[in-house]
Structure formats: structure tokens, C-alpha cells
Amino acid sequence: MTVSSAPGKVYLFGEHAVVYGEPAVPCAIERRATVSVEPRADDHIRVTARDLSLDGFTVEYGQSPDERPDVDVPTPLVEAATGYVDAAVEQARDAVSDPEAGFDVTIESDIPLGAGLGSSAAVVVASIDAATRSLGVELDPVEIAERAYQAEYEVQSGQASRADTFCSAMGGAVRVEGDDCRTIDTPNLPFVVGFDGGAGDTGALVAGVRDLKERYAFAADTVETVGDIVREGETLLADADADGDPDEELLAELGNLMDFNHGLLEALGVSSRSLDNMVWAARMAGAHGAKLTGAGGGGCIVALDPTPETETGLRFTPGCEDVFRAELATEGVRVEAESAVGARGDDGGEAGERDEGAE
């Protein structure tokens, strides 16, 4: 069995605008999706999903249309555990030149599903790495990032950006602008994440911003202004000492930019009452800045605060279900365990069958 993991992320700046070619700076955090893969003797895929913020399940299916999974679990979990895994498996098959490779796949994640922390990207990145390694092929993280982007692009009907998958594959802080993706140096920023327990509809939120941008010139200007904020933030990071903790002046300036960024995202209609409540609670607790992270509509906010005050404030904020400090993940995708490559395993059961006693 081969086991790989990949980190989630928070956006320091730039979500939504990155879809339109503006730059974004996401940062990998030490919340990971771990994917275990065992090759099979047939072309079936058996997926076991656990800890994805919802009840888990196990399902097996083949490639033909009448062998698709039919399980009574929430749609977001099915999409995360089968849609993204399907696309990742196709990328792995292409990488190893074996279109009929089958796999038993187990997903375990401590990244809240659909909450703006890059859960799908982490699952796809880790799945591609584990699947290819299980068949004796080791891919460079840059190639994994590209293949993971293609997988997300397919599942998200062409609305994906390279930001999440590149960040998850490479780790640390990255800068993405269109097809230009690169790592950047950054101090160990003191991220605090608040989670409202919900999840936004990424497709609907992206479509909503697109509609506003096409209808109103000032909405298009707002998207461009988000890009200007990112560029200003890049300048600040470029002048900072990447080897130590950030000083108060840097945190204050980055925080101001985060506050501006959140205000613009709110104007574009992608925030929510719970996210705004958490943002204001963080600011009132003394955070240097706070904003939503990811698609919005629900999910997570990220704040900058080296003290425990923001964590305390968020814990007492109505609608905040969880709060945690997020360390910068300096490693991206990595192998956690790897057995010797051998023959594919047994067939594991009938296609399309849901296991008894599903997780």
C-alpha cells in the first residue's frame, strides 16, 4: 500500500479574482488529506472516504456508465470521494500509460469539506501521487500540480484555477497569476482559522461573481482592485525576512490589505453573515486583519494574530463552530508510506456494490 498526503491552504489574498487572471497568494497549512492506494487486478475503483466533515462511506464501481456509484449519502461527499478521485485516477492512468489500472483508494482528511481550505485540491494531489507511486512511477511535484489542476478543471466544469492545486503540491506560500505559478518566500505568518461549520457552493459563487463582472463595469473594477491588493501584498512579503517571525509593522500592513480584500469580496456577494461575524469578532479581539478564505458563502475565515486573543474571541462568537491556529506547511505533497511495487491486488468484490457496515 502507498500512502501520500497533501496540505490544505488559506488565501492570504486573491480568491475569486484569480479566476480572471489576477494574481493570488495562497499559503499551505498543516491540515492534510491522506490518501492510501492499493493497485487492483481489475479496472475498478473502490473508494473509502472518512473524516470529510460528513459521515463516511465505502463504494466500488467500474468504468462503464451502468457501474457508477449509487449511494444514499450527501452529494458533496460523493463528489469529493468519487468525482475528484475519478479525475485523479484518470491522470494517474495517463501518467503510467495504463488506462485500465484499478485501485482501492482510502481518503482520510482533517480539512473541512467545502470550507475554503482546499480539501478537494489536497485529495486530488495526494491521490495522483499515491496512485502513480503504487505503480512504480514517481512524479515531480510540478507535474502533480499540473495534473491535479486538469482534474479539478474537469470536475469544476472549467471554473478551477491553478492556485489550490499548485499550493497543495508545492507547500509554503505560492503566487499564481494565470498559468504563471511559483513559490515565494514568506515569514511564518500567525494564521488563525475560524470555521462556521458550513460550506459554500463554489460553482454558484463563482458564477455569481462572473455575472456581476459582466453586468457592471464597477464590479469588473472591483475584481481588478483585488489583484492590486495582491501585488501590494507581494511587495511587502518580498521585503520581509523569510527566516524569522514577522514584525508588528509587517503584520499590521498585511492585515490592512486583508481587511480591504474582505470588503471587496463582500461587495462581490460572496461573504455571508456568519463569515462577517467571525471577521469582525477577530478584528475586535485584536487581529491585525481578517477575511474570508476560499469561495465564501460559508466555511472559514483567516486572521493574523500571534496572540491567543483572536482564538478566544472566535470561540465565543455565535456561529463559529471551530477555531484553530494554522501553521504554515513548508512541505507540499509527500509520501507517508510506500511498499514495494508488485502485482495488483485482488478484485475486492462486485462492481457497484456498497459495502455492508459503511463508515
| Catalytic annotation, residues | 164
Q: Is the separation of the CB atoms in 296 and 265 below 8 Å? A: yes
Separation between Cα atoms, residue 139 and residue 92, nearest integer Å: 10
Collapsing DSSP states into helix, strand and coil, what is residue 270?
Answer: coil
Q: What is the DSSP-derived secondary structure letter of residue 190?
A: -
* Bridge partners (DSSP) listed for residue 345: 40
Q: Which H or E element spans position 12?
A: strand 2-13
Collapsing DSSP states into helix, strand and coil, what is residue 63?
Answer: coil
3-state SS string for 300-318: EEEEECCCCHHHHHHHCCC
User: Which of 303, 217, 199 lies closest to 255, judged by CA?
Assistant: 303
Collapsing DSSP states into helix, strand and coil, what is residue 107?
Answer: strand
Chain-centroid distance, C-alpha 107: 14
